[in-house]
Structure 1
Amino acid sequence: MLTSILPALILSVTILAPTATAPTTAAPAAVDAAAIDALVEQYREQTSLPGVAVAVTHGTGVVHAAGYGHTPDGAVVSAHTVMAAASVSKSFTALAVMRLVEDGRIALDDPVRAHLPEFTMAGPRAADITVRQLLDQTSGLSDTTHRSFSGPPVHTLAEAVAAMRDSEPAAEPGTRWEYHNPNFQVAARLVEVVGGVPFAEYLRRYVFGPLGMRDSGTADTERDLPPSARGHVKVLGLPVALPEPPAFGNGSGGVLTSAHDLAAWLIAQNNGGRGPDGTAVSTPRSIAETHTPSAVSESYGLGWFLGATPSGARLIDHGGDLFTSTAYQALLPDSGHGIAVMANTGLRHGDAQELGERLIALVEGRQLAPAGDPSAVVDAVLLVLAPVVAAAAVRGVLRSRRWADRRRSSARLVPLVLPLLLLATVHRLVGYLYRGRDVAWLQVPYLYPTFMVLLAVASLGGVAVLVARSVAVSARRADAG
């Protein structure tokens, strides 16, 4: 019984993936502070989202920048609450690189190693990787050959680059697109070395400062997250505050910012590099370059995804996922709107992107179906199964002597080890489900907490039955001898 339910449990993991909601037609709503507040509060009520910050801009003006709910330590979320931007950070790294390009200090098609000699990898392919290929994710670097999450921990950008020395690209540079966080860690280290100052300082001087983003900074690892930037996972639909699991993320996911600051950033992106007061942090040409698809992928530029909204309008966006928080930003060039969301629930729930899509629908006059979270039902089922599995294990232990008396083959004990083997390697299975992405074992409970509880119960129960039956078999053989 312990092993027969496991295939069904594995399949249940996929149920937790976010599902798209079908749009319905409705009269266009006014995109103003009141409409945004109503939409966000309705979403929070439907999903039990504890805290979120939102910015909506139009042209060079801020329509609304506000916070809702609370942080894990109970503080009220405001427009100035510092939260994690996660992979939205990639667009900041791309702009930092473009500043160096504008100054003539590097060129996008230069080999990375020409400016960053410390960037060495196994095999010859890495020598051909260009700066552009880091930013458009066509470098050939891959989670399949360099495990940045499950590998040895790193704490600085220099260490992140050094940790790649024994890895090799999985493909020839410039031949395929693959999302890989270390691309942007190498790019951020390039900014440090060529720019001559730490990456955080470079952003402060040339991006955050000129745009008036006084709340913003960067984090290297989860230890650098302030209390306001930590988040939750949901169990049975209820938020549970947890610390972010260990990981390095500067350059690829380390920006810390606020709704107030992201409003200025969105305006600069929609205004040729000029912020709300007209201060330029980039040129129109550089901004356009980051919003232009690569030669390999029509859906990715330099730190931005490129696509269309359900209404067919141009969409330039990027999501960001940590295990206890998410972020999302979107530019709508046709209407001149910008949207940013930071939510303090993890990637399992996708609240930032889901809410961002609803704000896009508001701008376009579309109405989406009410939000829902099917994971609460799945959690309930898995938690109900846990005591059932435990009871089956107790029954197996108590009847171990009877099992041995039936002279059953010891080979029939092998399935009892399977839950433990799955528990030990579950991060590899999850990585496969996430299309080959690298996942550390400690990150899996953040994705599937109740599944891991059930798997742990099954593992302990299987081991207990295995030991009890092995002892019973030995005792029967001793009696027979």
Structure 2
Amino acid sequence: MNRRKFNAAGLAAILTPLPRLTSAETTVSEHHGYQVAAINSGLLTAQHSGMAHSQGAVDDDTLFQVASCSKTVTALAVLTLVRDGRVDLDAPVNRYLNRWQLPGPRGAAATIAELMSHTAGTTVHGFQGYGPTDGLPTLHDILIGRRPANSDPIRSRRRVFGRFKYSGGGTMVLQALIEEVTGTDFATYTTNAVLKPVGAAHATFAITPSRPFAHGSYENGQPLDGGFMRHPESAAAGLWATASDLAFLFHAVLQALTGARHAIIPVALAERMVTPVSQRAGLGVFVSSGPTISHEGRNLGFDSIVAADLNTRQVRAAVTNRNGAIRSYTEQLLAD
């Protein structure tokens, strides 16, 4: 994905008022669909259209793979550990890892905050997932690049001036951190510490959700074999969610920034989360002019985007089960 091109169209569009769909627009395609959600003045509105798969239509509760938007959940999970005094953001991550240590020239020095802002110099940009008949690797397999993992080993490299380098591999180191510090699996901790508290009632890190979910398709409309790629790389790419779930997630960050009662993290941590470190990367979010915070995601068959305006406190999110469909949809919104 061309991240800059997607942001230019996607962020501008989803932060404009959403038009009401007409009856002629209620079916986007016979093969794919979407959800959009907005939060204004604390009130949620949602729309949906199209097909989840050949046997069923999308509704407001249909789950979509939201790919790299998983990283915002991971960042909030880490920040709850900081909130509770269990980890130090600026401490080397290896201080908390026993079963595996981040190797490489900067392994001993790479901090938790650097991993969250993609400035630790870690390898592995992203993950392609696993088909319906592929074996699934464990977290340790993914970290060391051992079969059946289909990605390279995760390690640190030398970096220049703390420069940004997007790394899903670094986010998987954070998954190892969360599991070691909490003594529980990543999905359980993030569900209880992040997803439930922010109101993302349907979101799940299950490999195959128990709730109804969409099947993905490529840009040319060809459906994925088996409906979706499986992602054991939960922290980096494994979340299933609705557009409303994503909107609630970013609304929780806005609430934390104002010091709202029962906010998921304190103001100081929320402010640090939305402060750019390098190339507009904050901690689990990207920060653009406006200012807005955002994240986007692409797995094979699925695209997602979510953004919040820090001044107007407006939140927008969109998900689709066809690669490239969000880009054309948001461009259509810009033209309306």
Same fold (TM over 0.5): yes
8 Å CA contact retained: 2:31, 2:51: no
**Corresponding residue for residue 342 of structure 1:** 319
The alpha carbon displacement at 1:200 in A equals 0.9
The alpha carbon displacement at 1:148 in A equals 5.6
The alpha carbon displacement at 1:105 in A equals 0.7
1:299 aligns with 2:283: no
1:61 aligns with 2:38: no
Distance of aligned partners of 1:177 and 1:234 in 2 relative to their CA distance in 1, 3 Å threshold: closer
What CA deviation, in whole Å up to 9, does each residue of 1:451-481 have, x standing for no partner?
A: xxxxxxxxxxxxxxxxxxxxxxxxxxxxxxx
Query: C-alpha separation between the residues in 2 aligned to 1:241 and 1:274?
Result: 42
**Corresponding residue for residue 125 of structure 1:** 106
- Partner amino acid for 1:54? V
**Corresponding residue for residue 11 of structure 1:** none
Which structure is higher in helix share? 1
What CA deviation, in whole Å up to 9, does each residue of 1:394-445 have, x standing for no partner?
A: xxxxxxxxxxxxxxxxxxxxxxxxxxxxxxxxxxxxxxxxxxxxxxxxxxxx
Determine what percentage of the aligned residue pairs are the same residue: 25
The alpha carbon displacement at 1:104 in A equals 0.8
Distance of aligned partners of 1:82 and 1:288 in 2 relative to their CA distance in 1, 3 Å threshold: same
- Partner amino acid for 2:241? T
Secondary structure at the aligned position of 2:306 is classed as strand
What CA deviation, in whole Å up to 9, does each residue of 1:90-118 have, x standing for no partner?
A: 11100000000011111111111100133
The alpha carbon displacement at 1:39 in A equals 12
**Corresponding residue for residue 204 of structure 1:** 191
Secondary structure at the aligned position of 2:59 is classed as coil
TM-score by length of 1: 0.58
1:284 aligns with 2:271: no
Query: C-alpha separation between the residues in 2 aligned to 1:86 and 1:55?
Result: 17
Gaps of 5+ in 2: 10-15, 147-151
8 Å CA contact retained: 1:138, 1:173: no
Query: C-alpha separation between the residues in 2 aligned to 1:208 and 1:18?
Result: 26
- Partner amino acid for 1:229? A
Query: C-alpha separation between the residues in 2 aligned to 1:18 and 1:128?
Result: 33
Query: C-alpha separation between the residues in 2 aligned to 1:126 and 1:99?
Result: 24
1:262 aligns with 2:262: no
1:368 aligns with 2:310: no
The alpha carbon displacement at 1:50 in A equals 2.0
One of 279, 302, 309 as aligned partner of 1:332: 309
**CA-atom RMSD, angstroms?**
3.7
- Partner amino acid for 1:213? A
What CA deviation, in whole Å up to 9, does each residue of 1:250-301 have, x standing for no partner?
A: 10111111233233223212222799x964322222222211111xx14110
**Corresponding residue for residue 195 of structure 1:** 182
Distance of aligned partners of 1:19 and 1:250 in 2 relative to their CA distance in 1, 3 Å threshold: closer
1:352 aligns with 2:326: yes
8 Å CA contact retained: 1:341, 1:356: no
8 Å CA contact retained: 2:116, 2:283: yes
Distance of aligned partners of 1:188 and 1:353 in 2 relative to their CA distance in 1, 3 Å threshold: farther
8 Å CA contact retained: 2:257, 2:267: yes
What CA deviation, in whole Å up to 9, does each residue of 1:311-341 have, x standing for no partner?
A: xx22211110011011110111122210111
- Partner amino acid for 2:182? G
**Corresponding residue for residue 108 of structure 1:** 89
The alpha carbon displacement at 1:48 in A equals 7.3
1:215 aligns with 2:188: no
What CA deviation, in whole Å up to 9, does each residue of 1:63-96 have, x standing for no partner?
A: x123211111432211111111111111110000
Query: C-alpha separation between the residues in 2 aligned to 1:49 and 1:368?
Result: 24
**Corresponding residue for residue 72 of structure 1:** 53
- Partner amino acid for 1:327? S
Equivalent positions of 1:73-88 (< 5 A) are: 73-88=54-69
1:318 aligns with 2:292: no
Distance of aligned partners of 1:68 and 1:121 in 2 relative to their CA distance in 1, 3 Å threshold: same
8 Å CA contact retained: 1:274, 1:282: no
TM-score by length of 2: 0.81
**Corresponding residue for residue 233 of structure 1:** 218
Of 333-342 and 280-289, more deviation after overlay is shown by 280-289
What CA deviation, in whole Å up to 9, does each residue of 1:25-62 have, x standing for no partner?
A: xxxxx946xx24359948x75x8772101111113221
8 Å CA contact retained: 1:157, 1:250: no
Of 148-157 and 87-96, more deviation after overlay is shown by 148-157
One of 205, 224, 234 as aligned partner of 1:250: 234
